[in-house]
Amino acid sequence: MSVLHHTDLLVVGAGPAGYTAAIYAARASMKPILVTGMQPGGQLTITTDVENYPGFAEPIQGPWLMEQMRAQAEHVGTNIVYDLITEASLKNGQDADGYFHLKGDSGDEYRARTVVIATGAQAKWLGLEAETRLRTGGVSACATCDGFFYRGKTVAVVGGGNTAVEEALYLTHHAETVHLIHRRDTLRAERILQDRLLAHPKIKTHWNVAVNDIIGGGTPEVVQAVELKNTETGALSRIDVDGVFVAIGHHPNTGPFREQVACDADGYIITEAGGTQTSIPGVFAAGDVQDRIFRQAVTAAGTGCMAALEAERFISNIPAMTKT
């Protein structure tokens, strides 16, 4: 049987941004409801060692960190609902009673004074079976997150756009050798980035080749090499590497919100400079769904805090609104 939920703040998404928004909103007595979506915990649930989240001297496990955020959100008063928002009526603003209307896959309906969209983003992958098998054994989509583990080692970066070139350049601060693998004979990255990459002594660029397979070995299994296929001749070759960074872009998880709020050409939600307000007053966006640059757990948490504070301010600036 479907349930009708009412709240001052509905948080959609259960990653660092969503949980942080819920924590701040609950402490502000907004009685938030957080709808988890299909992957509670977000991308950190598939991340093993986390060394760059402040407050922990030793590496922590991504799933553990997200479990702690969930427990904290519940402890301060967040109502967590395991559901997936499939419909949202936002673009026409609030109804006469001051509510936005959303609907979940469960059939439940949600009426919210304010909404924080914190549905995150997902890395694009090559589609190889080995990517999944070796996700915790040397395959990554975030150099900033995992580059530290490859000090003095050899890594490969796959891609040819700004993200791939930036990742390759970043990895030179840790790795001894960085192989950039690109399926074409020219890069799509900005010229200044191309110039830096091509001039860097630690980076070796491989043109007209695609990753045919990622080869692992050992116990536990870790990346040992990449098998490349020439896109012109079909010839196979191999490069021994310790890690593979896939940098071919991300998909923002805008889902039912794509047609409701203003988004850029790639689907990232557009927010006001210096804040989290979207094109719809009372609707805010936090985390990777609106951040195409940093994509870090700590920055996502920061924007989650901002979104909750902005939502609280939005409600307090409408004196006639009667809270439910």
Query: Of the residues 8, 83, 108, 145, which is catalytic?
Result: 145
**Residue 113 identity (one-letter amino acid):** R
Q: Which residues contact 208 (CB under 8 A, 6 or more apart)?
A: 182, 183, 184, 185, 230, 231, 232
Pairing of strands 100-104, 85-89: antiparallel
Give the H or E element holding residue 215. Answer: strand 209-217
Active-site residue flag, 263: no
The pTM of the full predicted model, rounded to 2 decimals, is: 0.82
Q: How far apart are CA 77 and CA 315, in angstroms?
A: 19
Assess contact for 74 and 80: CB atoms under 8 A.
Answer: yes
Per-residue confidence of the chain (324 residues) as pLDDT tens digits? Answer: 889 999 999 999 999 999 999 999 999 999 999 999 988 888 887 776 788 899 999 989 889 999 999 999 999 999 999 999 999 999 999 999 999 999 999 999 999 999 999 999 988 999 999 999 999 899 999 998 899 999 999 999 999 998 899 999 999 999 999 999 999 999 999 999 999 999 999 999 999 999 999 999 999 999 999 999 999 999 999 999 999 999 998 899 999 999 999 999 999 999 999 999 999 999 999 999 999 888 899 999 999 999 999 999 999 987 654 444
- Say how many residues make up the chain: 324
In the set 108, 146, 288, 291, the catalytic residue is: 146
Please tell me the distance from the alpha carbon of residue 147 to that of residue 180, in angstroms, as a whole number: 15
pLDDT for res 189: 92
For the question of residue 142 being annotated catalytic, the response is: yes
All domains in the chain, ordered by first residue: 4-122+250-316 (3.50.50.60), 126-247 (3.50.50.60)
Residue in 49, 142, 213, 305 annotated catalytic? 142
* Residues facing residue 142 across a β-bridge: none
Closest CA to 127 of 211, 228, 230, 39: 211
* Cα–Cα distance measured from residue 85 to residue 64, given in angstroms and rounded to the nearest whole number: 25
145 is catalytic: yes
